[in-house]
Copies of this chain bind each other. A is one copy, B any other.
Amino acid sequence: MINFFVKFKYGIPIYEQVIFSVKKAIVTGQLKPGDRFPSVRELSRELRINPNTAQKVVSHLVKENLLKIEPGIGSVVSQLSSATDMQKKGILENEVEKFVVEAKRLLITKQEVMDALDRYWNEKGKG
């Protein structure tokens, strides 16, 4: 059984969309540390994607320390670990910059952004 959902959009690589869905599932507590993650073949079958694409998803998630492989058995959801200062600096500068520029170009106010952020943070924050 698959315990997360993906509604594929056109124009974004499938493997990226699946990766994001998994991250979202983990962040919201839908997938918990220690949970067994679907096998490559099961992922392929259930999401109707190529086994190689499913394998790409797993290898990326392992590289990002979100999954851990138990050889011969399968993969397991890892515990979330705090970002290093470097990583924090990265996301909090690069990502915020992109975000702010896009908002300002559409004349969206800081308050609107803060509200949206606050709302979304709590809404999906049960995990």
Contacts and interface: CB of A to CB of B under 8 A. Distances in A.
Contacts of A69: none
A107 B92 contact: no
Q: How many copies does the complex hold?
A: 2
Q: Specify which of A81, A110, A113 lies most central, judged by the most chain B CB atoms within 10 Å of its CB.
A: A113
A103 interface: yes
Contacts of A83: 106-108
Contact of A92 (B80, B93, B112, B121): B112
Given A20-B101, A27-B104, A82-B107, 7 more contacts: A23-B101, A23-B105, A82-B106, A83-B107, A91-B103, A92-B116, A99-B99
14 contacts: A26-B105, A27-B105, A80-B106, A83-B108, A91-B108, A92-B108, A92-B112, A93-B120, A95-B102, A96-B120, A97-B120, A110-B118, A113-B121, A114-B114
